[in-house]
Amino acid sequence: MEVTVAKNSGFCFGVKRAVDSVYEQIEKGGDIYTYGPIIHNEQVVAELEEKGVGIINSAKELQNINSGTVIIRSHGVSREVYEMIQTRGLEMIDATCPFVKKIHDIVAKESRAGRHIIVIGSRRHPEVEGIVSYIEGDHTVIENEEEANAFTMPDNREICVVSQTTFNRNKFQELVEIFKKRGYHVIVANTICNATEERQTEAKRIASCVDAMIVIGGAGSSNTQKLFEICRRECENTQYIQTLDDLVLNFKSIKSVGITAGASTPKKIIQEVQSYVRANF
């Protein structure tokens, strides 16, 4: 059996940094909280909960926390939450990915300069909720082509377009083209993170030349879901698993297997799956 494991699988730089900072705080001791689950991975979150790490799910819950350390995950948080952590005198470890922080800075600067900000991404995603909170003025969140076509600007101000870090690059270009074709004066800040694209490109390449493909990631992880869809288009025999326990592939007629994993999948789980496939088939 030939097994190919994607090099770009598992934690991206930003997620690793955030998860590492939680373990560093555990070593130091004290009351530790993450604002939202640190990653979309049930195993990691359960392990951290066992070690005493609490999860704060909303600003309302944050108001009931009087001491301890709050860790901000890689998606970042809204300015209001950030300020609330500070004013409540809580210790804060800001593990917002620097690529996300960069978007906060861009939208703050461009909106201060009077530009209308368009954020391309999922409006309910915590990263987008965080980004829009840094805009000082008006903004629009655009999720798809339909919304881009329906967008109207009441005056002739310039528009600054940014993107959620994990948005699809081609779709982003298509949406920007819609604004340009409609005659808007557009300043584009391409804020898509390379990590996602590299992961997807490699997964697609591997899936296109194996008999079976395994995609590992949490059930709630949208980047894993996207990886699964990409692989499935190339290789019909693609399976989405959270851990080794979910693997039910019948390898009888299979000579080659590819493995990839979402950005929230710990190395340990990828290794377990890889070792199992190598040892048993």
Name the residues annotated as catalytic: 127
Q: Does 97 bind ligand F3S (CB under 6 A)?
A: yes
Nearest to 86 by CA among 102, 109, 62: 62
Helix, strand, or coil (residue 68): coil
Q: Which two tokens stand for residue 267?
A: 């190395």
Q: Find the shortest distance in angstroms from Cβ 140 to ligand F3S.
A: 22
Rank residues 11 and 184 by Cβ distance to ligand F3S and give the closer one: 11
Q: Which two tokens stand for residue 122?
A: 């999922």
Rank residues 13 and 251 by Cβ distance to ligand F3S and give the closer one: 13
Q: Does 196 bind ligand F3S (CB under 6 A)?
A: yes
- Please answer whether residues 103 and 165 qualify as being in contact, where contact means their C-beta atoms are separated by less than 8 angstroms: yes
Contact segment (CB under 6 A) with ligand F3S among 54-62, 142-150, 193-201, 250-258 equals 193-201
Angle (CA) 163-168-173 rounded to 5° is 70
> How far is C-alpha 179 from the chain's CA centre?
26
Q: Does 100 bind ligand F3S (CB under 6 A)?
A: yes
Helix, strand, or coil (residue 117): strand
Rank residues 122 and 149 by Cβ distance to ligand F3S and give the closer one: 122
- Please answer whether residues 27 and 250 qualify as being in contact, where contact means their C-beta atoms are separated by less than 8 angstroms: no
Sign of the torsion angle spanned by Cα atoms 174, 10, 273, 278: positive
Q: Does 12 bind ligand F3S (CB under 6 A)?
A: yes
Task: Give me the 40-79 binding string for ligand F3S, x by CB under 6 A, dash otherwise.
Answer: ----------------------------------x-----
Q: Which of residues 240-279 bind ligand F3S (CB under 6 A)?
A: 263
Instruction: State how far the alpha carbon of 109 is from the alpha carbons of 1, 112, 130, 269, in Å.
Output: 54, 5, 15, 41
Q: Does 8 bind ligand F3S (CB under 6 A)?
A: no
Instruction: Please give the residue ranges that form the binding site for ligand F3S (CB under 6 A).
Output: 12-15, 74, 97, 99-100, 165-166, 193, 195-196, 263
